[in-house]
Structure 1
Amino acid sequence: MIRYPAVAGSFYPSGEALIEMLEEFFSDLGEEGRERRITAGVAPHAGYVFSGYTAGRTYKAIFEDGIPETFVILGPNHTGIGSPIAVYPEGKWLTPLGEIEIDSEMARAIARLSGIADLDELAHRYEHSIEVQVPFIQYLAEKAGKDVKIVPITLGMQDEDVAEDLGRAIFEASKELGRDVVVIASTDLMHYGTMYGYVPFRVRADELSHRIKEWDFRVIRRILDFDVRGMFKEIREMNHTMCGPGGVGTAIVYSRLAGAVEAELLHYTTSFEVSRSTEAVVGYASIVFRR
Structure 2
Amino acid sequence: MIRYPTVAGSFYPSDEALIEMLEEFFKDLGEEGSKRRITAGVAPHAGYVFSGYTASRTYKAIFEDGLPETFVILGPNHTGLGSPIAVYPEGEWLTPLGSIEVDAEMAKAIAKLSGIADLDELAHKYEHSIEVQVPFIQYLSELAGKDVRIVPITLGIQDEDVSKALGKAIFEASEELGRDVVVIASTDFMHYGPAYGYVPFRARADELPHRIKEWDFRLIRRVLDFDVDGLFRELREMRHTMCGPGAVGTAIVYSRLAGALETELLHYTTSFEVSRSTEAIVGYASIVMRK
TM range (shorter): over 0.9
Partner Cα separation in structure 1 for residue 179 and residue 197 of structure 2 = 43
8 Å contact from structure 1 (residues 200, 278) kept in 2 = no
Over 3 Å counting, the alpha-carbon distance change for 1:34 and 1:97 in structure 2 is same
What's 1:31 paired with? Answer: 31
Are 1:268 and 2:268 counterparts?
yes
Aligned counterparts, 1:63-212, within 5 A: 63-199=63-199, 201-212=201-212
Partner Cα separation in structure 2 for residue 186 and residue 119 of structure 1 = 19
SS of 1:57's equivalent in the other structure is: helix
SS of 1:12's equivalent in the other structure is: coil
Deviations 1:187-232 (A, max 9, x none): 0000000100124744311211111100000000000000000000
Partner Cα separation in structure 2 for residue 98 and residue 143 of structure 1 = 14
Deviations 1:142-176 (A, max 9, x none): 01000000000000000000000000000000000
Partner Cα separation in structure 2 for residue 86 and residue 32 of structure 1 = 32
Query: Shift of the alpha carbon at 1:96?
Result: 0.1
Unpaired runs of 5+ residues, structure 1, are none
Q: Which TM-score applies when normalising by structure 2?
A: 0.99
Letter in 1 for 2:237: E
Are 1:21 and 2:26 counterparts?
no
Partner Cα separation in structure 1 for residue 32 and residue 116 of structure 2 = 36
SS of 2:141's equivalent in the other structure is: helix
What's 1:244 paired with? Answer: 244
Are 1:279 and 2:270 counterparts?
no
Q: Which TM-score applies when normalising by structure 1?
A: 0.99
Letter in 2 for 1:243: C
Partner Cα separation in structure 2 for residue 278 and residue 269 of structure 1 = 15
Structure 1 stretches of at least 4 aligned residues deviating more than 2 Å after TM superposition: 198-203
SS of 2:82's equivalent in the other structure is: coil
Partner Cα separation in structure 2 for residue 201 and residue 252 of structure 1 = 30
Are 1:220 and 2:217 counterparts?
no
Percent identity for Structure 1 against Structure 2:
86
SS of 2:138's equivalent in the other structure is: helix
What's 2:2 paired with? Answer: 2
Partner Cα separation in structure 2 for residue 194 and residue 115 of structure 1 = 39
SS of 1:242's equivalent in the other structure is: coil
Partner Cα separation in structure 1 for residue 198 and residue 164 of structure 2 = 31
Q: RMSD across aligned C-alpha pairs, in angstroms?
A: 0.7
Unpaired runs of 5+ residues, structure 2, are none
